[in-house]
Structure 1
Amino acid sequence: MKKYFLILALVISSATYSQDLPTEPANGFAFPLGTKFTIKMHPTDSTNFDYSVIKLEPFQEIVDIYENDSLFKDPDEKNGTIEFYFCLGTSVETDEEKEKNMKVLLLMKNLTENSFGYNSDIQTEENGEFKTTSNVGTYSGAKGTEIWPYMIHQIALNEFKIAK
């Protein structure tokens, strides 16, 4: 079943760039590295949510791992969305150090009334299989950061549930 979902997520992800936004609500989508995207949450019952992609654009900047608040909109505006940046980041300044200390980041800002747990799967080899990875979830009104020290080509986010 999981492989079926991952294949579906890849197909939907590749179609996302070519279709009109917002997408129809679904259980999950996959996003390539170098992407800024915003999702809108849609409840399917009292605890589970699907989401639609309402904004999707390339994002090729290398961000500072610790100083990146300026990427996000007004932090007090609750509009039922979660903003993401799936990009590269570093916390050093020289070009030589940047090469050695580059990390893959998933930055997020939760602009919903709910905190969520979700599943995340990563593709570490180009055109490779997705593997499950842990995450910290996303908390209402808060900014979150996931960091990996190795290359990730795509990330699939799925099965959003209200956190307990």
Structure 2
Amino acid sequence: MRKLLSIFILLTISFSSFAQEVELGTIFTIEFSNPERNMDFKIVAKNPYNKLIETNLNMDSIFPKRPKENQIVGVFANGKFGTKVSPILLLVSGMEDYLDYYLRIKIPSKNKFQKTSSISLFKGVKSIEHWPYQIEKIAFKKFKILPKQNIEIFQFKEKIDSTCIKNSAKTIEFGEKEFKAHLKLAISEFHNNKNFELGKMTEYENSINSEDVSLGHFWTLGEGIYPNEKGFKFGNPKSYRRIECPYFEGKSSYFYTKENKNIKVVSFNWETFKESNFGINPEIKNDVNEKFNEKFEYILKTVNSLLGNPIENITEESGQIKIRWKNQKGINAYLFNFGNYNEIRLYVYKE
């Protein structure tokens, strides 16, 4: 028994000696002492990182310094991946060699670190690991150099979204006029028709040549947005793309009953238009936040003009703004401004 205990202690010491831990909300630097001889490493710098990681940002806006030839820079924090906020690990290697690394994660509900997969590292290329659940810590166990003769040479090509090139007339002004007419139509249908048919809005979307970007499977809204007190069964939501060049892209979506195809919720959202897989157009980088503030004020003013003054207006500590309306005819609306990562959402329904 004593021998087994000694082995366990030895293994524990071995893991803690070689594994380098990083807590959530940290920007850090890993350094290799002599990579030509071995891959011994240590974390030489750690600093708090309290921002939300935006994976579309240029590396220079995240890391104050580029990694040296014997370093890897990284940040482990909550970030936005798609529409959800969850833990993200972002690494950039300065090493000439291609690297594999072994990573473990500490989940709040578990006492021990768990194994997880990881992506190989290439010099100067952002590597992104994402987990759809909460993680307290990560631990780097070891790194190894990959033989170059066994690796296919990758070329990271920029893929341009040509939507704004082909549709230069779809400006912010154009988008705001369309949104106001669209919202007015949706509210009118909720007001005047007991059965707000899906066909009404698909006909509208077709009339303005919208691109159907429906996911093709069911996804739902939280009860905090739409309580669904009558227990409706919903079909797969229909979504259509919106572009306001060169700043915004988004969707209008329709949530409808599966049996009768009656719309119960209409939603709109706006995000930053990513001109390519490398991120946003550098020319809009400096004023995109200002444009989002202006967009939010326009949406707020438009909803006020159609539904009256809001009954609730809350700004949370995180900076998120939540505004709610309910007019005399029972039309409800929720407006969310996720200012820390530039996203606006609007939901309209009648129970």
Corresponding residue of 2:90: 107
CA shift in 2, pair 1:7/1:152, >3 Å = farther
Describe how 1:77-88 pairs up with structure 2 within 5 A.
Answer: 78-88=68-78
Q: Tell me by how many angstroms 1:43 deviates.
A: 3.9
Q: Tell me by how many angstroms 1:5 deviates.
A: 4.7
Q: Indicate which of 57, 63, 80 corresponds to 2:47.
A: 57
Corresponding residue of 1:33: 24
CA shift in 2, pair 1:148/1:6, >3 Å = farther
Deviations 1:127-162, CA, capped at 9 Å, x for gaps: 721000000021122221111111010000111110
Q: Which residue identity does 1:89 align to in structure 2?
A: G
Q: How far apart, CA to CA, are the structure 2 residues paired with 1:103 and 1:68?
A: 20
Structure 1 portions without partners, runs of 5+: 13-26
Corresponding residue of 2:232: none
Structure 2 portions without partners, runs of 5+: 1-6, 148-351
Task: For residue 33 of structure 2, give the secondary structure of its aligned residue in structure 1.
Answer: strand
Q: Does 1:133 align with 2:116?
A: yes
Q: How far apart, CA to CA, are the structure 2 residues paired with 1:114 and 1:2?
A: 35
Deviations 1:20-69, CA, capped at 9 Å, x for gaps: xxxxxxx33111111111011134775x4111222111111112133252
Which protein, 1 or 2, shows the higher relative CO under an 8 Å CA cutoff with sep ≥ 6? 1
Q: Indicate which of 108, 124, 132 corresponds to 2:107.
A: 124
Q: How far apart, CA to CA, are the structure 1 residues paired with 2:108 and 2:13?
A: 14
Q: How far apart, CA to CA, are the structure 2 residues paired with 1:88 and 1:136?
A: 19
Q: How far apart, CA to CA, are the structure 2 residues paired with 1:91 and 1:73?
A: 22
Q: How far apart, CA to CA, are the structure 2 residues paired with 1:33 and 1:145?
A: 15
More strand by share: 1
Q: Which residue identity does 2:23 align to in structure 1?
A: P
Q: Tell me by how many angstroms 1:79 deviates.
A: 3.2
Corresponding residue of 1:16: none
Q: How far apart, CA to CA, are the structure 2 residues paired with 1:131 and 1:37?
A: 21
Corresponding residue of 1:89: 79
Q: Tell me by how many angstroms 1:72 deviates.
A: 2.6
- Answer whether contact 1:113 1:141 (CA < 8 A) is retained: no
- Answer whether contact 1:38 1:53 (CA < 8 A) is retained: yes
Number of equivalenced pairs: 139
Q: Which residue identity does 1:35 align to in structure 2?
A: T
More helix by share: 2
Please say which structure displays the higher CA radius of gyration. Answer: 2
Q: How far apart, CA to CA, are the structure 1 residues paired with 2:25 and 2:137?
A: 9
Cα RMSD between the aligned structures?
Answer: 2.8
Task: For residue 56 of structure 2, give the secondary structure of its aligned residue in structure 1.
Answer: coil
- Answer whether contact 2:25 2:48 (CA < 8 A) is retained: yes
Task: For residue 122 of structure 2, give the secondary structure of its aligned residue in structure 1.
Answer: coil
- Answer whether contact 2:89 2:129 (CA < 8 A) is retained: yes
